[in-house]
Structure 1
Amino acid sequence: MGAKIKEIPAKLPKNFDKPDEPWYRYVTIDLIWKVLGYTLLHPWVSWIVVLCLRAQVTPYENIEMRIAIVWACVMTTVAIFGIISDKIAFGDSREVDLSEEVIVITGGVEGLGALMAEVYGMRNANVAVLDTKKVDDEEAEEKGVLYYECDVGDAKQVERIAAEIIEDLGPPTILINNAGIVRPKSILDSTAEEVEQTFRTNTLSHFNTLRTFLPHMLNANRGTIVTVSSVLGQLGAANLSSYTASKAALLALHSSLRAELAQHSNGQDIKTILVTPGQMSTKMFASVKTPSNFLAPIVAPVDIAKEILRLIEKGESGEIAVPLYSRYIQILALLPVGVQTLVRRWSGVDMAMVKAGLAKGVDKEADEKR
């Protein structure tokens, strides 16, 4: 008889435990925008329409032909402008061979970080996860990932673990700063220790990992750094002051990092990726309901991970903002303050933690009457 096949327990996604939603719950503005991007808003499809009209011997002077040609020219111009803009902003891509890369992921035991770690582990990449949560050796071996127990908010721990990673796998070339915690409390209810811990994990950890791993990337003249922030870093929200402030700091950190790499002689092939997701279906905000499933759908971690992995493996820099509203949320700041107030009130962003039962509201009844 042959060798006994090792059995690996499989767990179905949690979505299988939930009842099927009505079909219209799956129709969102993101889905519509994606379909348009592959059809009417795609330059290739736009020119196909022109060719189809010519195949029907439609004269060039006909209004439908003129509209089709103008539309195709506009879509082509927009596409070319986007390519040139990305080239100016992010430069050329670098070559990425996963067999030669060493990937470090902070906060990779659960949520988005765990998903990326397990995907790379299945592909036999060199993956090191830094997290305060423990993972037993058998589970780590099954996933093909090395787990290091580490508080990334502690600079000395990061330096100590970095030495172990270099000895075990080699100098890191891809850094995914994903670690994050949230404490849904108002400013007055938050203690100094809680605020400090939030900033240590969400913000200072990025400084610790950058100071530790970036020199190795500069020596190798290649690398990719992923900064996972949040759309709330641009919005702010009641009862999430420490979380939103710590995520807002990452936006400035990312811009400063890009500027410093541009000034460094070996920084050209070190790519940077900024991730500003909306609400994800993770434990962190599991009980929070979105104000509109159509305009602000909850994003599955796999959708974010897919975009991050795509940019990493293409060797490109970029910005990932999902769902659609998070890509254009900065426009809100250009509106009159009265309009901004009405939008915030309609969206319910400042009452979300209270309604989810995660925080106490200040004059909740008065706010709901306004």
Structure 2
Amino acid sequence: MGARIREIPAKLPKNFDRPDEPWYHHLTIDLIWKVLGYTVFHPWVAWVIVLCLRAQVTPYQSLEMQIAIVWAFLTTGRAIFGIINAKLAYGNAREVDLSEEVIVITGGVGGLGALIAEVYGMRNANVAVLDTKKVDLEEAEEKGVVYYECDVGDAQQVDEAVKEIVEDLGPPTILINNAGIVHTQSILDSTAEEVRQTFRTNTFSHFNTLRSCLPHMLNEGRGTIVTVSSVLGHLGAANLSSYTSSKAALLALHSSLRAELAQHPNGEDIKTILVTPGQMSTKMFAGVRTPSNFLAPVIAPVDIAKEVIGLIEKGESGDVAVPLYSRYIQILGVLPLGVQVLIRKWSGIDTAMAKAGLMKADKTALNEKR
């Protein structure tokens, strides 16, 4: 008999915690856009329509044939432009073999980080999680993940943890900077310590892990770095000033990182992924209501994880921005200020914390990891 297969208990992630919601709750602009992408806007479908018209002996001079041909060329041109644009922006993909990769995830005990860590753990990848929360050895073995108790805001602790990872698993080649906390106070109610703690965890931790892990990637000549920011980094929001500011800093940091890697002789095969999600169904913003489930749906962590894991394993750089509005939210900044004010009022972005009852009068933090 062969070796007994190790059983790994797994809880499948739920897309929604409210199973009794009506069917139209799941009808969103993101779903419609995805369906259109595989049908009306897909080059293959467009050329099939042309072939079907020809099969009916439709003359080339007819209006419907001319419209179909023009549309087929437009969709094909759009697809080719997208491929060329991605090549110019991110270069060629690198080869990824999970058996030869060492994955480091910050804030990987809960939320999005935990989901990604457990997926790779079940696939027998080398996964190291840095988090301040303790995990039992038995639970860690069941998940196939190695946990290191570490405050990622402390540079010395990160250096020591990475040294242990190199000894235990090997040099890190995939870094997922995911750790994050939020303080829901106004600027006047916040304290210097709260602001410092937010930036320490949300922003400074990225510098700490990059300084410790990036040299190993450069020596290996390969790697992938994932920066988890937020759509609020583009927008800002009342009563979330320290959180949104810390996430906005990550947008600039990631751009600088890409520019520096492009200039480094060993940086060609180090890929970068920027994640700017909208509201996720995690404990961090539980209770916050979206202004429109159709235009701005709440995203399950599994939807973000699938896209991040997909890019990592393809060996590609890229941006993960879901739902759809987060991909184009920067357009808001070029609109007239009056229009911006109206959109912010309609969206309720500046009143969401108060309405959700998440304002902390006692100035305690929602320390749930993203």
| TM-aligned CA distance change 1:336 to 1:166, over 3 Å | same
Identify the residue that residue 163 of structure 2 maps to in structure 1.
163
Larger RCO (CA within 8 A; separation ≥ 6): 2
The aligned counterpart of 1:298 is: 298
Cα 1:4–1:268 shift into 2, 3 Å = closer
Is the counterpart of residue 251 in structure 1 residue 251 in structure 2?
Answer: yes
1:116 aligns to what?
A: 116
Gaps of 5+ in 2: 362-370
When residues 198 and 45 of structure 1 are mapped into structure 2, their CA distance, relative to the original with a 3 A threshold, is: same
Per the alignment, residue 45 of structure 2 pairs with 45
CA contact (8 A) 1:177 1:206 kept: yes
Is the contact made by 2:112 and 2:302 (CA closer than 8 Å) also made in structure 1? yes
- The verdict on how the C-alpha distance between 1:81 and 1:346 changes in structure 2, with shifts beyond 3 A counting, is same
**How much has 1:7 moved relative to structure 2?**
7.4
Q: Tell me the CA shift for residue 18 of structure 1.
A: 3.3
CA separation of 1:107/1:17 partners in 2, compared to 1, >3 Å: closer, same or farther?
Answer: closer
Q: How does 1:43-192 map to 2 (within 5 A)?
A: 43-192=43-192
Q: TM-score by structure 2 length? A: 0.94
1:271 partner SS:
strand
Change (3 A) 1:38 1:259: same
Aligned length in residues: 360
Question: Kindly, what percent of the aligned residue pairs are identical?
Answer: 81
Which aligned segments of 4 or more residues in structure 1 are displaced greater than 4 angstroms? 3-17
Deviation at 1:19, TM superposition (A): 3.9
SS in 2 for 1:230: coil
- More displaced stretch, 10-19 vs 247-256: 10-19
Give the deviation of 1:359 after TM superposition.
1.6
1:8 deviation in Å? 6.2
CA contact (8 A) 1:354 1:360 kept: no
The answer on 1:262 being equivalent to 2:262 is yes
| Structure 2 CA distance for aligned equivalents of residues 178 and 328 of structure 1 | 22
How much is the aligned-residue C-alpha RMSD, in angstroms? 1.8
One-letter identity of the residue aligned with 1:202: N
What amino acid is the match of 1:323?
Answer: P
Q: What is the SS of the residue equivalent to 2:227?
A: strand
Partner amino acid, structure 2, of 1:97 = D
Displacement of 1:20 in angstroms is 1.8
C-alpha contact 1:186 1:360 (8 A) present in aligned 2: no
Q: Give 1:304's aligned amino acid.
A: I
Find the counterpart in structure 2 of residue 198 from structure 1.
Answer: 198
Runs of 5+ unmatched residues, structure 1: 362-370
CA apart distance, 1:21: 1.2
What is the CA distance between 1:45 and its match in structure 2?
Answer: 0.7
Structure 2: how far apart are the matches of 1:69 and 1:314?
Answer: 33
- Between the aligned partners of 2:6 and 2:174, the Cα distance in structure 1 is 32
C-alpha separation between the residues in 1 aligned to 2:341 and 2:15? 35
Aligned twin of 1:365? none
Q: Do 2:8 and 2:122's aligned partners in 1 also have CA atoms closer than 8 Å?
A: no
